[in-house]
Amino acid sequence: MTSQRELDEEFAEFARGAAPRLLKAAWLICGDPHQAEDLVQSAMVKVYLRWSRLRDGSPLAYARRCLLTTHIDSHRRTGREYAVAETPEVGSWDRSWDDTDEVVRLLAALPLRERQVVVMRHYAGLPEAHVAELLGISVGTVKSSASRGLARLRQALHPTGDAHEGDRSAEVREGNHV
Amino acid sequence: MSDTHELDELLQRATAPHMHFDPAAAIATGRRVRRRRRIATAGGALAAVTAVGVAVTAAVPGSAPLLPAGPSQSPAVSAKPTGSAGPSATERCFPSDTERGTTWASGSAEGSQRGGKVVVEATVREGCGEDVVGLGDFNGDAQVTVMFKAVPTTAQWVVADAAVLFLPAGQRPCGYSFGRDLPKATVLPQPNGWDLVIQPVPGAQLRTAAETGTVDICRGTAPVKRGLKQIGWDGPGTCNLDNLVGVKVPGAEQWVDETLTVPGAGRLTVDAQLHPGCTGDGHTSSWDPKRGARLEVDVPALPKAGLWDTVWMGDALTGVFLVPPGQTVCDIDFSRSGLAGKPNLVAPQRLSQSGGWTVVAQPLPRLDNPLSLRASFCTGQKVTKSGVVPSS
Protein backbone atom coordinates (compact mmCIF):
# COMPACT_ATOMS: atom_id res chain seq x y z
CA MET A 1 0.00 0.00 0.00
CA THR A 2 1.32 3.43 -0.92
CA SER A 3 2.08 5.60 2.08
CA GLN A 4 0.67 9.07 2.50
CA ARG A 5 4.14 10.51 2.10
CA GLU A 6 4.58 8.75 -1.24
CA LEU A 7 1.15 9.93 -2.37
CA ASP A 8 2.06 13.49 -1.41
CA GLU A 9 5.31 13.29 -3.33
CA GLU A 10 3.50 11.94 -6.37
CA PHE A 11 0.97 14.72 -6.18
CA ALA A 12 3.66 17.37 -5.78
CA GLU A 13 5.46 16.07 -8.86
CA PHE A 14 2.25 16.13 -10.87
CA ALA A 15 1.36 19.58 -9.60
CA ARG A 16 4.76 21.05 -10.39
CA GLY A 17 4.53 19.76 -13.92
CA ALA A 18 0.94 20.79 -14.56
CA ALA A 19 0.90 24.14 -12.83
CA PRO A 20 2.61 26.37 -15.41
CA ARG A 21 0.15 25.69 -18.20
CA LEU A 22 -2.81 25.60 -15.83
CA LEU A 23 -1.76 28.99 -14.52
CA LYS A 24 -1.53 30.41 -17.98
CA ALA A 25 -4.88 28.92 -18.96
CA ALA A 26 -6.42 30.37 -15.83
CA TRP A 27 -4.89 33.73 -16.61
CA LEU A 28 -6.23 33.68 -20.15
CA ILE A 29 -9.68 32.87 -18.82
CA CYS A 30 -9.90 35.27 -15.92
CA GLY A 31 -7.48 37.97 -17.03
CA ASP A 32 -5.97 38.46 -13.61
CA PRO A 33 -2.75 36.77 -12.50
CA HIS A 34 -3.66 36.81 -8.81
CA GLN A 35 -7.02 35.26 -9.43
CA ALA A 36 -5.36 32.76 -11.74
CA GLU A 37 -3.09 31.71 -8.89
CA ASP A 38 -6.08 31.34 -6.61
CA LEU A 39 -7.98 29.31 -9.18
CA VAL A 40 -5.09 26.93 -9.71
CA GLN A 41 -4.52 26.66 -5.99
CA SER A 42 -8.18 25.77 -5.43
CA ALA A 43 -8.15 23.30 -8.28
CA MET A 44 -5.00 21.63 -7.03
CA VAL A 45 -6.39 21.28 -3.52
CA LYS A 46 -9.36 19.46 -4.99
CA VAL A 47 -7.03 17.24 -6.98
CA TYR A 48 -5.02 16.53 -3.84
CA LEU A 49 -8.14 15.51 -1.95
CA ARG A 50 -8.89 12.87 -4.57
CA TRP A 51 -5.34 12.02 -5.47
CA SER A 52 -5.45 8.41 -4.37
CA ARG A 53 -8.27 7.86 -6.85
CA LEU A 54 -7.04 10.18 -9.58
CA ARG A 55 -3.41 9.16 -9.70
CA ASP A 56 -4.05 6.24 -12.00
CA GLY A 57 -6.58 8.13 -14.07
CA SER A 58 -6.68 11.65 -15.42
CA PRO A 59 -5.70 14.08 -12.73
CA LEU A 60 -5.04 16.78 -15.29
CA ALA A 61 -8.54 16.53 -16.69
CA TYR A 62 -9.93 16.76 -13.19
CA ALA A 63 -7.73 19.75 -12.46
CA ARG A 64 -9.00 21.49 -15.57
CA ARG A 65 -12.58 20.77 -14.63
CA CYS A 66 -12.03 22.15 -11.13
CA LEU A 67 -10.38 25.20 -12.58
CA LEU A 68 -13.31 25.95 -14.83
CA THR A 69 -16.02 25.27 -12.29
CA THR A 70 -14.23 27.30 -9.63
CA HIS A 71 -13.92 30.13 -12.08
CA ILE A 72 -17.59 29.95 -12.94
CA ASP A 73 -18.48 29.94 -9.24
CA SER A 74 -16.29 32.90 -8.45
CA HIS A 75 -17.56 34.72 -11.48
CA ARG A 76 -21.14 34.18 -10.37
CA ARG A 77 -20.35 35.33 -6.85
CA THR A 78 -18.57 38.41 -8.05
CA GLY A 79 -21.20 39.17 -10.62
CA ARG A 80 -23.95 38.84 -8.07
CA GLU A 81 -22.39 41.00 -5.44
CA TYR A 82 -20.56 43.66 -7.35
CA ALA A 83 -21.90 45.52 -10.29
CA VAL A 84 -19.61 45.72 -13.32
CA ALA A 85 -19.47 48.69 -15.59
CA GLU A 86 -19.33 46.65 -18.77
CA THR A 87 -22.09 44.41 -19.96
CA PRO A 88 -21.15 40.75 -20.18
CA GLU A 89 -21.62 40.80 -23.93
CA VAL A 90 -19.00 43.48 -24.37
CA GLY A 91 -16.51 42.63 -21.71
CA SER A 92 -16.53 40.94 -18.39
CA TRP A 93 -13.37 41.34 -16.41
CA ASP A 94 -13.32 39.15 -13.39
CA ARG A 95 -11.44 41.81 -11.51
CA SER A 96 -10.01 45.18 -12.24
CA TRP A 97 -6.63 44.77 -13.81
CA ASP A 98 -4.41 47.13 -15.68
CA ASP A 99 -2.33 44.68 -17.72
CA THR A 100 -2.34 45.60 -21.35
CA ASP A 101 -1.57 42.25 -22.89
CA GLU A 102 -3.53 42.18 -26.08
CA VAL A 103 -4.55 38.55 -25.97
CA VAL A 104 -6.14 38.86 -22.59
CA ARG A 105 -7.89 42.03 -23.64
CA LEU A 106 -9.28 40.27 -26.67
CA LEU A 107 -10.45 37.33 -24.62
CA ALA A 108 -12.01 39.56 -22.01
CA ALA A 109 -14.36 40.84 -24.66
CA LEU A 110 -15.91 37.38 -24.87
CA PRO A 111 -18.70 36.14 -22.65
CA LEU A 112 -17.49 33.73 -19.99
CA ARG A 113 -18.57 30.50 -21.66
CA GLU A 114 -17.10 31.45 -25.02
CA ARG A 115 -13.87 32.49 -23.36
CA GLN A 116 -13.57 29.16 -21.56
CA VAL A 117 -14.31 27.23 -24.72
CA VAL A 118 -11.83 29.22 -26.77
CA VAL A 119 -9.05 28.80 -24.22
CA MET A 120 -9.67 25.10 -23.75
CA ARG A 121 -9.86 24.51 -27.48
CA HIS A 122 -7.14 26.79 -28.73
CA TYR A 123 -4.73 27.07 -25.84
CA ALA A 124 -5.18 23.75 -24.08
CA GLY A 125 -5.70 22.06 -27.41
CA LEU A 126 -8.55 19.87 -26.25
CA PRO A 127 -10.95 18.15 -28.62
CA GLU A 128 -14.51 19.46 -28.70
CA ALA A 129 -15.86 16.39 -26.97
CA HIS A 130 -13.40 16.82 -24.14
CA VAL A 131 -14.26 20.48 -23.72
CA ALA A 132 -17.94 19.58 -23.68
CA GLU A 133 -17.32 17.07 -20.94
CA LEU A 134 -15.23 19.51 -18.93
CA LEU A 135 -17.84 22.22 -19.06
CA GLY A 136 -20.83 19.96 -18.80
CA ILE A 137 -22.30 21.14 -22.07
CA SER A 138 -23.06 19.50 -25.40
CA VAL A 139 -20.59 19.22 -28.22
CA GLY A 140 -22.96 21.36 -30.25
CA THR A 141 -22.74 24.10 -27.65
CA VAL A 142 -18.97 23.86 -27.74
CA LYS A 143 -19.02 24.20 -31.52
CA SER A 144 -21.36 27.17 -31.46
CA SER A 145 -19.52 28.85 -28.58
CA ALA A 146 -16.20 28.36 -30.29
CA SER A 147 -17.59 29.64 -33.55
CA ARG A 148 -19.10 32.74 -31.98
CA GLY A 149 -16.00 33.32 -29.93
CA LEU A 150 -13.79 33.08 -32.97
CA ALA A 151 -16.05 35.41 -34.88
CA ARG A 152 -15.83 38.00 -32.14
CA LEU A 153 -12.06 37.63 -31.96
CA ARG A 154 -11.83 37.87 -35.72
CA GLN A 155 -13.77 41.06 -35.51
CA ALA A 156 -11.39 42.37 -32.89
CA LEU A 157 -8.29 41.20 -34.70
CA HIS A 158 -9.43 42.49 -38.08
CA PRO A 159 -11.82 45.32 -37.40
CA THR A 160 -11.78 46.39 -41.06
CA GLY A 161 -13.78 43.33 -41.96
CA ASP A 162 -11.22 41.40 -43.97
CA ALA A 163 -11.57 38.39 -41.80
CA HIS A 164 -11.73 35.00 -43.38
CA GLU A 165 -15.16 33.60 -43.79
CA GLY A 166 -16.36 30.26 -42.66
CA ASP A 167 -16.07 28.22 -39.58
CA ARG A 168 -12.44 27.77 -38.78
CA SER A 169 -12.74 25.41 -35.91
CA ALA A 170 -10.01 23.30 -37.34
CA GLU A 171 -8.55 20.28 -35.69
CA VAL A 172 -6.42 21.28 -32.81
CA ARG A 173 -2.76 20.60 -32.86
CA GLU A 174 -1.12 17.96 -30.80
CA GLY A 175 1.22 18.72 -27.99
CA ASN A 176 -0.40 21.78 -26.56
CA HIS A 177 -2.32 20.27 -23.75
CA VAL A 178 -2.56 22.26 -20.59
CA MET B 1 -2.52 31.78 -41.90
CA SER B 2 -6.05 30.91 -40.83
CA ASP B 3 -7.84 32.71 -38.08
CA THR B 4 -7.82 29.68 -35.84
CA HIS B 5 -4.12 29.19 -36.29
CA GLU B 6 -3.57 32.86 -35.74
CA LEU B 7 -5.51 32.59 -32.52
CA ASP B 8 -3.62 29.47 -31.52
CA GLU B 9 -0.40 31.33 -32.09
CA LEU B 10 -1.60 34.32 -30.12
CA LEU B 11 -2.64 32.20 -27.17
CA GLN B 12 0.51 30.12 -27.16
CA ARG B 13 2.85 33.05 -27.53
CA ALA B 14 1.11 35.37 -25.09
CA THR B 15 3.50 36.09 -22.30
CA ALA B 16 1.77 35.47 -19.03
CA PRO B 17 2.82 37.54 -16.05
CA HIS B 18 4.87 35.82 -13.40
CA MET B 19 2.61 33.58 -11.37
CA HIS B 20 3.42 31.28 -8.54
CA PHE B 21 2.08 27.94 -7.41
CA ASP B 22 3.37 26.03 -4.41
CA PRO B 23 2.49 22.33 -4.28
CA ALA B 24 3.32 22.26 -0.59
CA ALA B 25 0.70 24.90 0.06
CA ALA B 26 -1.89 22.87 -1.83
CA ILE B 27 -0.97 19.79 0.17
CA ALA B 28 -1.18 21.67 3.46
CA THR B 29 -4.54 23.13 2.53
CA GLY B 30 -5.76 19.74 1.37
CA ARG B 31 -4.81 18.21 4.68
CA ARG B 32 -6.68 20.91 6.51
CA VAL B 33 -9.76 20.38 4.37
CA ARG B 34 -9.57 16.67 5.02
CA ARG B 35 -9.37 17.29 8.73
CA ARG B 36 -12.37 19.59 8.58
CA ARG B 37 -14.36 16.96 6.78
CA ARG B 38 -13.53 14.46 9.45
CA ILE B 39 -14.47 16.95 12.09
CA ALA B 40 -17.80 17.58 10.48
CA THR B 41 -18.39 13.89 10.04
CA ALA B 42 -17.57 13.19 13.64
CA GLY B 43 -19.96 15.78 14.96
CA GLY B 44 -22.72 15.29 12.46
CA ALA B 45 -22.31 18.97 11.70
CA LEU B 46 -21.99 18.82 7.96
CA ALA B 47 -24.87 21.21 7.54
CA ALA B 48 -23.02 23.78 9.55
CA VAL B 49 -19.99 23.53 7.32
CA THR B 50 -21.88 24.68 4.30
CA ALA B 51 -22.97 27.81 6.11
CA VAL B 52 -19.46 29.13 5.90
CA GLY B 53 -19.18 28.81 2.19
CA VAL B 54 -16.00 27.62 0.60
CA ALA B 55 -14.83 24.23 1.71
CA VAL B 56 -11.35 25.54 2.24
CA THR B 57 -12.76 27.77 4.90
CA ALA B 58 -11.26 28.86 8.10
CA ALA B 59 -14.11 28.44 10.50
CA VAL B 60 -16.32 25.45 10.99
CA PRO B 61 -19.19 26.27 13.30
CA GLY B 62 -20.28 23.39 15.44
CA SER B 63 -17.16 21.50 14.69
CA ALA B 64 -16.20 18.33 16.41
CA PRO B 65 -12.59 17.46 16.90
CA LEU B 66 -11.77 13.91 16.08
CA LEU B 67 -8.78 12.27 17.52
CA PRO B 68 -7.09 8.97 17.80
CA ALA B 69 -8.27 7.52 21.02
CA GLY B 70 -6.66 8.50 24.25
CA PRO B 71 -7.59 10.12 27.50
CA SER B 72 -10.26 12.54 26.60
CA GLN B 73 -11.34 16.06 26.99
CA SER B 74 -11.44 18.39 29.90
CA PRO B 75 -14.14 20.87 29.00
CA ALA B 76 -13.89 22.58 32.34
CA VAL B 77 -10.71 24.07 30.98
CA SER B 78 -11.32 23.81 27.29
CA ALA B 79 -14.00 22.39 25.07
CA LYS B 80 -11.40 20.28 23.35
CA PRO B 81 -10.67 16.64 23.66
CA THR B 82 -7.30 15.57 24.79
CA GLY B 83 -5.45 12.66 23.40
CA SER B 84 -2.22 11.09 22.58
CA ALA B 85 -1.75 8.59 19.85
CA GLY B 86 0.24 7.70 16.79
CA PRO B 87 0.33 10.57 14.37
CA SER B 88 -1.08 8.70 11.44
CA ALA B 89 -3.95 7.09 13.25
CA THR B 90 -6.61 9.24 11.72
CA GLU B 91 -5.13 8.80 8.28
CA ARG B 92 -5.30 5.07 8.61
CA CYS B 93 -8.89 5.29 9.77
CA PHE B 94 -9.98 7.41 6.88
CA PRO B 95 -9.04 5.82 3.60
CA SER B 96 -12.08 7.57 2.19
CA ASP B 97 -13.70 10.83 3.10
CA THR B 98 -17.12 9.37 2.60
CA GLU B 99 -16.97 6.06 4.41
CA ARG B 100 -18.04 6.13 7.99
CA GLY B 101 -18.22 2.48 8.83
CA THR B 102 -20.98 0.32 10.22
CA THR B 103 -22.93 1.60 13.18
CA TRP B 104 -22.32 -0.69 16.10
CA ALA B 105 -23.84 1.14 19.06
CA SER B 106 -25.64 4.41 19.59
CA GLY B 107 -27.74 6.31 22.06
CA SER B 108 -28.04 9.47 24.09
CA ALA B 109 -28.62 10.62 27.63
CA GLU B 110 -28.86 13.83 29.58
CA GLY B 111 -25.83 15.02 31.49
CA SER B 112 -23.55 16.81 29.05
CA GLN B 113 -21.18 19.39 30.43
CA ARG B 114 -22.61 21.67 27.76
CA GLY B 115 -26.14 21.56 29.14
CA GLY B 116 -27.58 19.24 26.54
CA LYS B 117 -27.37 15.54 25.91
CA VAL B 118 -24.47 13.26 25.44
CA VAL B 119 -25.03 11.69 22.03
CA VAL B 120 -22.93 8.63 21.28
CA GLU B 121 -22.38 6.89 17.98
CA ALA B 122 -19.96 4.01 17.70
CA THR B 123 -19.02 2.47 14.40
CA VAL B 124 -16.70 -0.29 13.31
CA ARG B 125 -14.22 0.57 10.60
CA GLU B 126 -12.41 -2.47 9.35
CA GLY B 127 -8.96 -1.38 8.34
CA CYS B 128 -8.66 1.29 10.96
CA GLY B 129 -5.20 1.14 12.44
CA GLU B 130 -6.36 2.40 15.79
CA ASP B 131 -9.57 3.14 17.55
CA VAL B 132 -10.58 6.75 17.13
CA VAL B 133 -12.63 8.95 19.43
CA GLY B 134 -14.16 12.26 18.48
CA LEU B 135 -15.88 14.79 20.64
CA GLY B 136 -17.91 17.58 19.16
CA ASP B 137 -20.59 20.05 19.95
CA PHE B 138 -23.83 20.37 18.09
CA ASN B 139 -26.56 22.67 19.33
CA GLY B 140 -25.48 22.21 22.91
CA ASP B 141 -25.24 18.44 22.76
CA ALA B 142 -21.95 16.67 23.17
CA GLN B 143 -21.42 14.45 20.13
CA VAL B 144 -19.21 11.52 20.92
CA THR B 145 -18.07 9.48 17.96
CA VAL B 146 -16.12 6.29 18.46
CA MET B 147 -14.65 4.37 15.55
CA PHE B 148 -13.46 0.92 16.48
CA LYS B 149 -10.89 -0.75 14.33
CA ALA B 150 -12.72 -4.03 14.86
CA VAL B 151 -15.80 -5.29 16.68
CA PRO B 152 -14.96 -5.13 20.40
CA THR B 153 -14.83 -8.36 22.31
CA THR B 154 -14.26 -6.93 25.77
CA ALA B 155 -15.46 -3.88 27.66
CA GLN B 156 -14.34 -0.51 26.28
CA TRP B 157 -14.65 2.99 27.62
CA VAL B 158 -13.56 6.57 27.19
CA VAL B 159 -14.14 9.90 28.89
CA ALA B 160 -15.51 12.35 26.37
CA ASP B 161 -17.70 14.98 28.04
CA ALA B 162 -19.07 12.06 30.08
CA ALA B 163 -17.77 8.58 30.67
CA VAL B 164 -18.98 6.40 27.84
CA LEU B 165 -18.78 2.66 28.32
CA PHE B 166 -19.44 -0.22 25.97
CA LEU B 167 -20.06 -3.36 28.02
CA PRO B 168 -20.82 -6.95 27.12
CA ALA B 169 -24.21 -8.14 28.39
CA GLY B 170 -24.25 -8.64 32.13
CA GLN B 171 -21.22 -6.49 32.89
CA ARG B 172 -21.32 -3.18 34.72
CA PRO B 173 -18.93 -0.52 36.01
CA CYS B 174 -18.15 -1.13 39.66
CA GLY B 175 -15.65 1.59 40.50
CA TYR B 176 -14.03 4.60 38.90
CA SER B 177 -10.59 5.83 39.81
CA PHE B 178 -11.64 9.48 39.81
CA GLY B 179 -14.60 9.44 42.17
CA ARG B 180 -17.32 7.50 43.91
CA ASP B 181 -20.42 9.66 44.25
CA LEU B 182 -21.11 10.15 40.61
CA PRO B 183 -24.51 11.08 39.15
CA LYS B 184 -26.78 8.27 38.05
CA ALA B 185 -25.69 6.62 34.84
CA THR B 186 -27.93 5.78 31.91
CA VAL B 187 -27.79 2.23 30.58
CA LEU B 188 -28.84 1.81 26.96
CA PRO B 189 -29.18 -1.80 25.79
CA GLN B 190 -28.03 -2.27 22.23
CA PRO B 191 -29.37 -4.57 19.51
CA ASN B 192 -26.01 -6.34 19.48
CA GLY B 193 -26.53 -7.44 23.07
CA TRP B 194 -24.07 -5.00 24.58
CA ASP B 195 -24.89 -2.12 26.90
CA LEU B 196 -23.96 1.46 26.20
CA VAL B 197 -23.51 3.25 29.51
CA ILE B 198 -23.35 7.02 29.70
CA GLN B 199 -22.00 8.13 33.05
CA PRO B 200 -22.10 11.91 33.67
CA VAL B 201 -18.96 13.19 35.33
CA PRO B 202 -18.96 16.39 37.43
CA GLY B 203 -16.93 19.16 35.88
CA ALA B 204 -14.49 19.25 38.76
CA GLN B 205 -13.53 15.64 38.17
CA LEU B 206 -13.60 15.60 34.41
CA ARG B 207 -10.03 16.55 33.74
CA THR B 208 -8.66 13.89 36.06
CA ALA B 209 -11.09 11.40 34.63
CA ALA B 210 -10.08 12.20 31.10
CA GLU B 211 -6.36 12.15 31.65
CA THR B 212 -5.86 9.30 34.06
CA GLY B 213 -9.21 7.69 34.67
CA THR B 214 -9.67 3.94 34.87
CA VAL B 215 -12.72 1.84 35.65
CA ASP B 216 -13.34 -1.52 37.27
CA ILE B 217 -15.73 -3.83 35.46
CA CYS B 218 -17.79 -6.44 37.26
CA ARG B 219 -20.30 -9.12 36.44
CA GLY B 220 -22.68 -8.99 39.37
CA THR B 221 -20.30 -8.53 42.27
CA ALA B 222 -17.45 -10.45 40.73
CA PRO B 223 -14.70 -8.36 39.17
CA VAL B 224 -14.08 -9.01 35.49
CA LYS B 225 -11.41 -6.38 34.92
CA ARG B 226 -9.82 -3.94 37.32
CA GLY B 227 -8.31 -0.61 36.26
CA LEU B 228 -9.53 -0.77 32.68
CA LYS B 229 -7.80 1.95 30.69
CA GLN B 230 -9.57 4.12 28.15
CA ILE B 231 -9.85 3.27 24.50
CA GLY B 232 -6.50 3.38 22.80
CA TRP B 233 -4.69 4.74 25.81
CA ASP B 234 -1.17 3.51 26.19
CA GLY B 235 0.23 6.44 28.07
CA PRO B 236 1.79 9.67 26.92
CA GLY B 237 3.51 9.46 23.59
CA THR B 238 4.31 11.54 20.60
CA CYS B 239 1.68 13.50 18.81
CA ASN B 240 1.50 15.38 15.56
CA LEU B 241 -0.68 18.46 15.78
CA ASP B 242 -1.25 18.43 12.07
CA ASN B 243 -3.15 15.20 12.42
CA LEU B 244 -4.93 15.82 15.68
CA VAL B 245 -7.53 18.54 15.48
CA GLY B 246 -8.52 20.21 18.69
CA VAL B 247 -6.46 17.80 20.66
CA LYS B 248 -4.93 18.57 23.99
CA VAL B 249 -2.48 16.02 25.23
CA PRO B 250 -1.71 15.63 28.92
CA GLY B 251 0.85 18.23 29.80
CA ALA B 252 -0.57 20.88 27.51
CA GLU B 253 0.17 24.37 28.73
CA GLN B 254 -2.37 27.16 28.66
CA TRP B 255 -0.90 30.04 26.72
CA VAL B 256 -3.86 32.35 26.18
CA ASP B 257 -7.28 32.18 27.78
CA GLU B 258 -9.12 35.41 27.16
CA THR B 259 -12.67 36.46 26.43
CA LEU B 260 -13.36 39.64 24.50
CA THR B 261 -16.53 41.35 23.45
CA VAL B 262 -16.45 42.17 19.77
CA PRO B 263 -18.81 45.04 18.92
CA GLY B 264 -21.69 43.88 16.80
CA ALA B 265 -20.62 40.27 17.00
CA GLY B 266 -20.66 39.05 20.59
CA ARG B 267 -18.29 37.35 22.96
CA LEU B 268 -15.20 35.63 21.72
CA THR B 269 -12.96 33.37 23.73
CA VAL B 270 -9.43 32.82 22.58
CA ASP B 271 -7.97 29.63 23.98
CA ALA B 272 -4.40 28.89 22.96
CA GLN B 273 -2.52 25.84 24.15
CA LEU B 274 1.08 24.88 23.85
CA HIS B 275 1.81 21.19 23.35
CA PRO B 276 5.38 20.47 24.34
CA GLY B 277 6.70 17.37 22.70
CA CYS B 278 4.30 17.52 19.79
CA THR B 279 5.37 18.03 16.21
CA GLY B 280 3.67 19.78 13.34
CA ASP B 281 2.81 23.38 12.67
CA GLY B 282 -0.26 23.35 14.84
CA HIS B 283 -3.57 24.80 13.88
CA THR B 284 -6.48 26.95 14.85
CA SER B 285 -10.14 26.07 14.88
CA SER B 286 -13.29 27.93 15.76
CA TRP B 287 -15.95 26.57 17.96
CA ASP B 288 -19.64 26.96 18.69
CA PRO B 289 -20.49 30.41 17.41
CA LYS B 290 -24.07 30.14 18.68
CA ARG B 291 -23.10 30.25 22.31
CA GLY B 292 -20.17 32.62 22.16
CA ALA B 293 -17.46 31.96 19.68
CA ARG B 294 -14.18 30.34 20.55
CA LEU B 295 -10.96 30.30 18.68
CA GLU B 296 -8.74 27.47 19.75
CA VAL B 297 -5.08 27.55 18.93
CA ASP B 298 -2.88 24.51 19.32
CA VAL B 299 0.81 24.88 18.68
CA PRO B 300 3.80 22.78 19.73
CA ALA B 301 5.64 25.71 21.29
CA LEU B 302 5.49 29.46 21.65
CA PRO B 303 5.43 30.75 18.06
CA LYS B 304 8.30 32.79 16.73
CA ALA B 305 6.04 35.02 14.67
CA GLY B 306 2.56 36.43 14.78
CA LEU B 307 -0.35 34.33 13.65
CA TRP B 308 -4.03 34.84 13.04
CA ASP B 309 -7.26 33.32 11.92
CA THR B 310 -10.79 34.35 11.13
CA VAL B 311 -13.84 33.38 13.15
CA TRP B 312 -17.45 33.52 12.10
CA MET B 313 -19.56 34.86 14.94
CA GLY B 314 -23.00 34.33 13.54
CA ASP B 315 -22.88 36.37 10.37
CA ALA B 316 -20.04 38.54 11.61
CA LEU B 317 -16.48 37.81 10.60
CA THR B 318 -13.69 38.63 13.01
CA GLY B 319 -9.96 38.41 12.56
CA VAL B 320 -8.18 37.19 15.66
CA PHE B 321 -4.48 37.93 15.87
CA LEU B 322 -1.84 36.74 18.28
CA VAL B 323 0.74 39.47 18.08
CA PRO B 324 4.32 39.02 19.32
CA PRO B 325 5.82 41.36 21.90
CA GLY B 326 6.61 44.80 20.50
CA GLN B 327 4.71 44.21 17.26
CA THR B 328 1.41 45.38 15.84
CA VAL B 329 -0.93 44.31 13.07
CA CYS B 330 -0.14 47.05 10.60
CA ASP B 331 -2.08 45.94 7.53
CA ILE B 332 -4.75 43.57 6.32
CA ASP B 333 -4.60 43.07 2.59
CA PHE B 334 -8.06 42.72 1.02
CA SER B 335 -6.84 42.91 -2.56
CA ARG B 336 -7.67 39.28 -3.29
CA SER B 337 -10.95 39.23 -1.42
CA GLY B 338 -13.13 40.52 -4.22
CA LEU B 339 -14.07 43.61 -2.26
CA ALA B 340 -14.17 46.78 -4.29
CA GLY B 341 -11.60 48.88 -2.49
CA LYS B 342 -10.21 48.62 0.96
CA PRO B 343 -12.89 48.61 3.65
CA ASN B 344 -12.91 50.98 6.57
CA LEU B 345 -12.38 48.86 9.64
CA VAL B 346 -13.67 49.68 13.09
CA ALA B 347 -11.20 49.82 15.95
CA PRO B 348 -10.07 46.38 17.11
CA GLN B 349 -10.22 44.99 20.65
CA ARG B 350 -6.86 44.38 22.27
CA LEU B 351 -5.83 42.41 25.31
CA SER B 352 -2.25 42.28 26.52
CA GLN B 353 -0.88 39.00 27.77
CA SER B 354 1.85 38.19 30.17
CA GLY B 355 4.95 37.67 28.12
CA GLY B 356 4.21 40.66 25.97
CA TRP B 357 1.93 39.05 23.40
CA THR B 358 -1.30 40.79 22.47
CA VAL B 359 -4.62 39.31 21.45
CA VAL B 360 -6.31 41.48 18.84
CA ALA B 361 -9.88 40.96 17.63
CA GLN B 362 -10.57 42.91 14.46
CA PRO B 363 -14.13 42.99 13.05
CA LEU B 364 -14.02 42.37 9.31
CA PRO B 365 -16.50 42.81 6.49
CA ARG B 366 -18.27 39.71 5.23
CA LEU B 367 -16.24 37.84 2.66
CA ASP B 368 -16.74 34.80 0.54
CA ASN B 369 -13.25 33.61 1.19
CA PRO B 370 -11.51 34.83 4.35
CA LEU B 371 -8.49 32.76 3.34
CA SER B 372 -7.79 35.32 0.66
CA LEU B 373 -6.80 37.86 3.30
CA ARG B 374 -3.18 38.57 4.14
CA ALA B 375 -1.93 40.31 7.25
CA SER B 376 1.27 42.16 8.02
CA PHE B 377 2.93 42.42 11.38
CA CYS B 378 5.18 45.41 12.10
CA THR B 379 7.67 46.56 14.65
CA GLY B 380 7.18 50.29 14.71
CA GLN B 381 7.20 51.38 11.08
CA LYS B 382 9.13 48.35 9.91
CA VAL B 383 7.25 45.39 8.47
CA THR B 384 8.34 42.30 10.37
CA LYS B 385 6.33 39.81 8.40
CA SER B 386 3.88 40.34 5.56
CA GLY B 387 1.52 38.12 3.61
CA VAL B 388 0.53 36.09 6.65
CA VAL B 389 -2.44 33.89 5.80
CA PRO B 390 -5.09 32.75 8.28
CA SER B 391 -3.81 29.70 10.11
CA SER B 392 -6.71 27.37 9.60
The verdict on residue B15 lying in a domain is no
Q: Are residues B213 and B79 in the same domain?
A: yes
Q: B220 and B278: one domain? A: no
B111 with B101: CB under 8 angstroms?
Answer: no
B205, B261: one domain? no
Residue-range domain boundaries for chain A: 4-157
Q: How high is the pLDDT of residue B269?
A: 85
- pLDDT greater than 70 at residue A88: no
Q: How confident is the model at residue B83 (pLDDT cuts 50, 70, 90)?
A: very low
Specify the range with the lowest mean pLDDT, choosing from B98-107, B132-141, B168-177, B319-328.
B132-141
Q: Is residue B268 part of a domain?
A: yes
Name the band, by pLDDT with cuts 50, 70 and 90, for residue B252. low
Last residue of a domain, one of B169, B194, B228: B228
* Residues B32-53, mean pLDDT to the nearest whole number: 39
User: Which residues of chain A neighbour B4 with C-beta distances below 8 Å?
Assistant: 122, 150, 168-170
Residues of B with CB under 8 A from a CB of A: 2-8, 10-12, 14-21, 23-27, 29-30, 33-34, 56, 88, 91, 95, 97, 335-336, 338, 340, 368, 372
Of the candidates B161, B129, B162, B164, the residue with the CA atom closest to the CA atom of residue B146? B164
Nearest-angstrom CA–CA distance, B14 and B147: 53
For residue B336, give its domain range. Answer: 253-388
Assess whether B88 and B192 both reside in one domain: yes
A131 touches chain B (CB under 8 A): no
| B70 and B158 fall within a common domain | yes
Is B219 in the same domain as B273? no
pLDDT class of B281 with cuts at 50, 70, 90:
low
- Is B8 inside a domain boundary? no
Q: How many Å apart are CA B13 and CA B124, to the nearest integer?
A: 56
Could you say which of B228, B263, B278 is where a domain stops? B228
Residue-averaged pLDDT of chain A = 73
Of A149, A90, A81, A141, nearest to A114 by C-alpha is A149
Does B345 reside within a domain?
yes
Q: Looking at the complex, does the CB of residue A150 fall below 8 Å from at least one CB of chain B?
A: yes
Cβ contacts (< 8 Å) between B340 and chain A: which residues?
A: 82
Q: A24, B56: Cβ pair inside 8 Å?
A: no
Shortest alpha-carbon distance between residue B98 and chain A (Å) = 11
The class that CATH gives domain A4-157 is mainly alpha
Q: Tell me what ipTM this predicted complex has.
A: 0.75
DSSP string, chain A: ---HHHHHHHHHHHHHHHHHHHHHHHHHHHS-HHHHHHHHHHHHHHHHHTHHHHTTS-HHHHHHHHHHHHHHHHHHHHHHHS--SS-TTT---SS------HHHHHHHTS-HHHHHHHHHHHTS---HHHHHHHHT--HHHHHHHHHHHHHHHHHHH-TTS-PPPS---PPPPTT---
Q: Which residue type sits at B164? A: V
Is B272 within the bounds of a domain?
yes
pLDDT tens, position by position, A119-172: 998 888 888 888 888 887 888 888 888 888 888 887 777 666 544 433 333 333
Question: What's the total number of domains in chain B?
Answer: 2
Confidence (pLDDT) at B233: 58
Bridge partner residues of B322 (DSSP): B307, B359
- Is residue B46 in a domain? no
Chain B residues with CB inside 8 Å of A102's CB? 10, 14
Chain A hits for B338, Cβ within 8 Å:
74, 77-78, 81-82, 95
| Same domain (yes/no): B213, B83 | yes
Q: Name the pTM for this structure.
A: 0.41
Distance CA B249, CA B300 (A): 11
